[in-house]
Structure 1
Amino acid sequence: MKSLQAALEAKVPWHRIAEILKERLAGRERAEAAAVLVQAEASTHLKPLVLKRILAIAERLDRMSRREGIPAVELALPSYNALELALRLYDRDRAAGLRALEELRAGRTTIAELQRRVSSLPPGSADPAAAARSAALVRRAETIRTCRAAIAAYVRSEFGRRAATAPRPAMRHFHRLGFEVRADGRILAGVDLHLTEGAQSKDSDGLARSLLLARHLPLFVLAFGAGRPGGAGGGDVGSADAAAPASAASPVSEWAAATAALGMEWVGILTIDPEGGVDEARPALPNPEKPDGSVYAAAKAQLAVRARAGSEAGSAGDGEPPADDEVV
């Protein structure tokens, strides 16, 4: 798709990419539409799920544009994540949605603040399924914030005050919720966070992705974030009310058995409760292979999920939330 490729090279806004996709998909049968999305994935390096999300946001923006009599291009924002939150507010409270757009454009609010507003308003005219998904996403973001703070505190206690914890840049083929521990310019450890709900925190593929990376870091920790009952963990946003109790969902015993079978008992295991309390189920030990970090650095460079036109760098593929205090 040369037009999409040219748009990406020109770094056009995400909503222009959506317009090109809509033109390509117009009048297509389902099978043909699927083929168009596969071609678009090759051109944009965005997964079909993300492309469909961009299209859905663009369609909602068009409806808002028609209702308000304002051109869609004037309502659009550089961040489609932020715009989607404003549209959710608009579905619940028209004035609140318009005010959110104005504040976002002026840089007077953050993603975290919009998430709180969305969770505090009744669904209004929003589709019930969309409202449930929105609530689950907000709870999931809250769980990630709690776990991130808990991991940072754990790192300081284990590595000293000079150790800094930062989100690991997203890498293709690897678990997306990861953190790096650094001090004095050196990589000290990695931490992968898995959440309560859905297959994400329990399936063998998710664990395998974490352990493959662990072999190339000096120390490595698996952290399990137990969200609040009723969907707080947020692995599967499509089933917000289907969460099992945290104690029943904990994969710690499975992780311990799997790492032992692989000769990786040196990998540490933590659990983080809904209030941010940390329980060290197994302490991390030095990687016996003593990697110097060069393979990890090379993999990070070669497999990085690049920032793309209209996308939030490193998070678009999985829908992970932007930084809590991101102002857009």
Structure 2
Amino acid sequence: MTHPPDPDEQVFHRHRNLLFSVAYRILGTAADAEDAVQDAWIRWSSADRAQVADPKAYLARIVANLALERLRSARRHRETYPGPWLPEPVLTAGDTADAVTDAESVSMAMLVVLETLSPLERAVFVLREVFEFSHAEIAVAVERSEAAVRQTAHRAREHVRAQRPRFTVDRSQQRGVTERFLAAATGGDLNTLLELLSPDVTLWTDGGGKVRQARRPVRGAVQVAAWFAAIGTVTYQGVEPHDMHAALVEINGGPGLVFSGAGRVVATICLDIDAAGRVTAIHNVANPDKLRAVADGTTHHLDAGRA
């Protein structure tokens, strides 16, 4: 005997992608975002749903609050992290009408900027700027007054604008630069790397203390170019150069590189490109704990827009 589908469960699963999208932007890690979504399901299951006029907004507020709680406890761990802490990369699919806007809000570069906000500022910024919540709705979600939320939203917006000026980079240009970077790095072409890199480019590498990586940012085109020109000549994490494979995929809304060998993913690379088409920052994630979402091949649709 088959049971009729639970309408409350159907409602939750209909909005599950949105909930993950909210939680991931607040937390910066797929694993924590999934946990927040699961906690939201528990809350939803025990709630008096007869009193819920708008399930979509209600669920989004729940998961935002849960993500904020998780971020506050996670922040202490991140402050003692060995070397740079980078977000956990995820495979994405840019197939929406607002793909460019969505991509910027979930890019590695933007998530790195969001790490510099306080947990409350980050949650408010994500809900207001990415998901277009009203100040009153955000006040309910983060359990603050509407006036306090307005102040926090303004402060967060100004901080993000100062750290990440807005400009449009053509998607095909992004892909072209990433392809040239990959060819130059794997071919040891130092001159092309120097052409592609901005003079003040910064390389951020996250090994999490689990694999050998630079514990401090590598700055300057000459130093960064030398780092990547050696890719095809050195053994990396036990993988010989001839056994290393690189693939161009979509990571966090834009072109990215996945390096794999010996049956596992060993690193991802995302390039931040300026309006002139030069690479200004490189985010290299090699901590195996942060590569699970990419390794399992799950593609996320991290749409933005009104919740």
What band does the TM-score fall into relative to the shorter chain? under 0.3
What TM-score, normalized by structure 2, do the two folds share? 0.27
Work out which structure has the larger RCO, using CA pairs closer than 8 Å and 6 or more positions apart in sequence: 2
* Structure with the bigger percentage of strand: 2
